[in-house]
Amino acid sequence: MRANYKYLDDINFPSDIKKLSQPELKVLAKEVREELIDTVSETGGHLGAGLGVVELTVALHYIFNTPNDKLIWDVGHQSYPHKILTGRKDKIRTLRKGDGLSGFTKRTESEYDPFGAAHSSTSISSALGIAVANELSNKSNNVIAVIGDGAISAGMSYEAMNNAGASKTKMIVILNDNDMSIAKPVGAMRTYLAKILSGNIYFSFRETVKLIISAFSKRFSKKAGKAEDFLRSAVTGGTLFNAMGFYYIGPIDGHDIDSLISVLKNAKDINIKGPIMIHVRTKKGKGYEFAEKSDDKYHGVSKFNISTGVQEKTKSNIPAYTKVFANTLIKHAEKDSKIVGITAAMPSGTGMDKFGEKFPSRMFDVGIAEQHAVTFAGGLATEGYKPYAAIYSTFLQRAYDQVVHDVAIQSLPVRFAIDRAGLVGADGPTHAGSFDITYLSTLPNFIIMAASDEAELVRMINTSVDINDRPSAFRYPRGNGVGVNLPPIDEKLDIGKGRIIKEGKKLALINFGARLQECLIAQENLSKKGVNITIIDARFCKPLDENLIWQIATDHEAIITIEEGSIGGFGSHVGQFLAEKNLLDSNLKYRSMILPDRFIDHDKPELMYKYAGLDSKSIEVKVFDTLNSKVIIKKIN
């Protein structure tokens, strides 16, 4: 931590905050903001969201008795100020590094993190669960959920609010309204919240206290009743939340500590039945000029220069996979008016922003609503359109039921562009694309592809354009390609056909996905040791290239499959085929290399793959072990 803060130097836990006066809290908030900027300039990570909730974080820990009172941050990407104030100040510069602090809330990291998630829209549900558990246990602890205006628009939030309002369980929901999620929020909720704010209804300190006391008073006078009606009226925006059973307060200025403390104190002390919604208006990137002026309010940043705001970028002439996807899809869309793009609140992350610039009427950002995105794509497909649903692997998990029931069962030709496949580095296990091969390859009549390099990605996109009788998916990793030339958009693949990259003897290594380069490095090192192996790029998990696998199985003593996915994926399908064809009854040895049966903590991607046993050295060891060449194993270790 940077030294010589007037108050922050002496703040280690929230109990220390309670010793300060309200004027001193404002100075503390300024120091927390400075420490946050200074930290993220060194570590990279999520900046804008944390800057926007500094005053709110200070006020929450000042009023509530955390960790006995449970404070839940939706997603958790805005929790850096919370970490600074809850015993992790001295470790804050280890954010998102190996063996360091997580970039999100994490139960195993601190008792001040009662619920970890890192996917949006879970906070109200989990807070209600904790609040009901408190009731069942006769506990009086407060439960507070902080959720953004983007996250509250997702279906799970509505489900939770509906249940919370009906349950009459006391809990507090803070709606952090900054008019931003990762990109601009979309949909009717955004319009609704904007209407609340359009009348300049920011209650003054005195008005806010007066209205809250009036609304929550046990004895409602005629005047107090009018105050409550006003408080929940359409003018203040209370109608929707009131209809769902919430006591609605706001909007209030989320950067005014005095108002925040008064509102939070009254919400804490009032003895009522039912949930409270406090609508707080904040500014994402608050207090850092470059963040405030940024289109995405500096949502996620690499290391940067504080004085100039310039972020460090790795210079490379090799395009990122996401850019290759976007550019290729645009080329096809120029020729085919039926191609449409869909994203779930991730236009820049998936490349759909570029597609949208070119075809604004054919790109649909549906907000944080992956379930809706998939079924929406299914509807488009029924009318002859060619929807491309570009969704991160980890987020597509949220829509698995829709993939099964609304797309796969009906054999609708939705094309799933699965970005961030495999391990993703600093975001850790919550954002890793570990399971998509498994959860999609179990579905009948689905075409599953994985790109081994950027040229293969282009070929897979080219191929998917003409798949009109069933759903298809192609997966590709985060980051840059490997530097190969890109093929033209008319170069396509034969469905279900792999390719032989290197021909050797005894052992064949069948790769599915982006581990091909590590396979080639291992192959080169093995050849120097006198072991020549066959390298195959499978391209398809479904349908399998059964003829090629049969040929390899009969020509080699051993087969090893490798993929950056969990058990049940490509290797399992190959093993099933070999068993069904009685090929394992011969002298054929079969092994598979997959992600281990554990969640891998955040670190540099290359180290994560080393820990997972999917780097080139691990491949070499696996080859020698399969061939029972133990003497050579000791040498390479």
Catalytic residue IDs: 284, 370, 398
Helix ranges restricted to H, 280-369: 289-293, 321-335, 347-350, 352-358
Q: Which residue has the tokens 């490349």?
A: 351
State the first-to-last Cα distance of the chain, in angstroms, to the nearest integer: 39
Q: How many helices (H) and strands (E) does the chain have?
A: 27, 19
8 Å CB contact between 419 and 323: no
8 Å CB contact between 281 and 308: no
- How many whole angstroms separate alpha carbon 220 and alpha carbon 593? 68
- How many whole angstroms separate alpha carbon 295 and alpha carbon 184? 9
- How many whole angstroms separate alpha carbon 131 and alpha carbon 359? 47
- How many whole angstroms separate alpha carbon 286 and alpha carbon 202? 18
Q: Which two tokens stand for residue 61?
A: 């820990």
Q: What residues are paired with 248 via a beta bridge?
A: 277
Helix ranges restricted to H, 53-182: 54-63, 80-84, 123-136, 155-167
The phi and psi torsions of 517 (rounded to 5 degrees) equal -65, -35
- How many whole angstroms separate alpha carbon 181 and alpha carbon 115? 20
8 Å CB contact between 340 and 364: yes
Q: Which amino acid is at 139?
A: K
Q: Which residue has the tokens 């949930």?
A: 275
Strands 70-73 and 172-177: unpaired
Q: What is the DSSP letter of 488?
A: P
Helix or strand run (H / E) with residue 620: helix 616-626
Strands 507-512 and 558-563: parallel
Going by C-beta distance under 8 Å and a sequence separation of 6 or more, which residues neighbour residue 331? 489
Q: Which amino acid is at 321?
A: Y
Q: Which two tokens stand for residue 405?
A: 């029931």
* Ramachandran class of 274: left when φ > 0, alpha when ψ lies in -120 to 50, beta otherwise: left
Q: What residues are paired with 279 via a beta bridge?
A: 175
8 Å CB contact between 555 and 568: no
Helix ranges restricted to H, 122-232: 123-136, 155-167, 188-197, 205-216, 222-231
- How many whole angstroms separate alpha carbon 423 and alpha carbon 589? 28
